[in-house]
Amino acid sequence: MAQLGDIVDAGIDYISMTMRRDNPNVQQWLLSAHNYLREIAVHDDEIKHTKRLGYEGLAFGGSFVGERERDTFCVFSGERAKRAYTLLYRHDVHVSRIDVQVSFRYAVPTTDAAQRAREEVKKDNTKLSSARQRNATLIEDLRGGGTCYIGTRKSEQFARIYNKEAESGDAHYKNVWRYEIQLKNRLAEKMAENFTKTLDPQETYSATVVKQWLRHRGVNTPWKAEAEVLPLPRDTPVLTQSEARLKWLRDQVRPAIRQLLKYGLRDDIIDALGLDDPTTRNE
């Protein structure tokens, strides 16, 4: 797809991290987080004492640094999240959530990017089994502020595509659409680690990551990006009890039954499974 404009911003847009109290590096890490919070606030009177998620600490805007008995916590959002990652990410912190975004300015006014994304997910679903279907929800308003949500907020990975100008009301974002993915827990930790492994700048790698994630769901993005270098973090689904039993039947029982059928033991199989007993048919 031809490039129809330019990327005006890309990078980590939200990051939340915790470090346990028994970590020998916790005090230095907490000090660094507090220093960064004071740096972005500029004036100390802008920093507020507050509580969030059971932590007590300091907040400025969408950023927060707090403590509780067993661990410490920080969250930085928006433009501040980029540097927060550089300053505070370590292999011994737990990343509970990370958002990665690309803000793309179209060369001509565009109002249907969200609608197109939803249709592309729908088209891609035709190639998938019913169990692997992906959900895409479209919300529209009268200001051209359509938003496409891919996945669900409760899942470990989720994306949104929206008109940044309509969402922010800021003329600086004229003709800009934001493409953003959100990863949680294990997937967030893997993504945060990937940013340390790539040789690309954060902005360049972010453009690649977001493009990859959306492409795997059938969505075309309007910018060019580097070739895939590191694999995207993948979520291994947890099977329900029924799904696990069916998998066992397919993988373990079916081969054995096929072998017995070759020996002409069909009636013995039915008898062994109790399928000829009318009292077991509805169990």
Residue 46 has pLDDT above 50, yes or no: yes
* pLDDT: which is higher, 283 or 54: 54
Entry pTM: 0.79
% residues pLDDT > 90 (the chain):
64
Distance, in Å, from the CA atom of 219 to the CA atom of 118, rounded to the nearest integer, reads: 8
Report pLDDT digits (tens) over 146-198: 899 999 888 899 999 999 998 888 888 999 999 999 999 999 999 999 999 99
Which residues touch 171 (CB under 8 Å, ≥6 apart)? 165
Distance, in Å, from the CA atom of 210 to the CA atom of 206, rounded to the nearest integer, reads: 6
Q: Residue 43: which pLDDT band, with cuts at 50, 70 and 90?
A: confident
Residue 276 has pLDDT above 70, yes or no: no
Distance, in Å, from the CA atom of 100 to the CA atom of 203, rounded to the nearest integer, reads: 10
270 sits in which H/E element: helix 266-273
> 138, exposed or middle or buried, with CB in 10 Å at 0-12, 13-18, 19+?
middle
Report pLDDT digits (tens) over 103-129: 999 999 988 999 999 999 999 999 988
Report pLDDT digits (tens) over 83-102: 999 999 999 999 999 999 99
Per the CB < 8 A criterion, the answer to whether 164 and 178 are in contact is yes
Check residue 28 and give its pLDDT.
97
Residue 263 has pLDDT above 70, yes or no: yes
Report pLDDT digits (tens) over 27-36: 999 999 999 9
Strands (E), the chain: 5-20, 48-52, 55-60, 63-67, 71-77, 94-106, 136-139, 147-150, 157-163, 176-184
* pLDDT: which is higher, 157 or 44: 157
Per the CB < 8 A criterion, the answer to whether 236 and 187 are in contact is no
What is the token pair recorded at 43? Answer: 């004036």
For the segment 213-240, the average pLDDT, to the nearest whole number, is 76
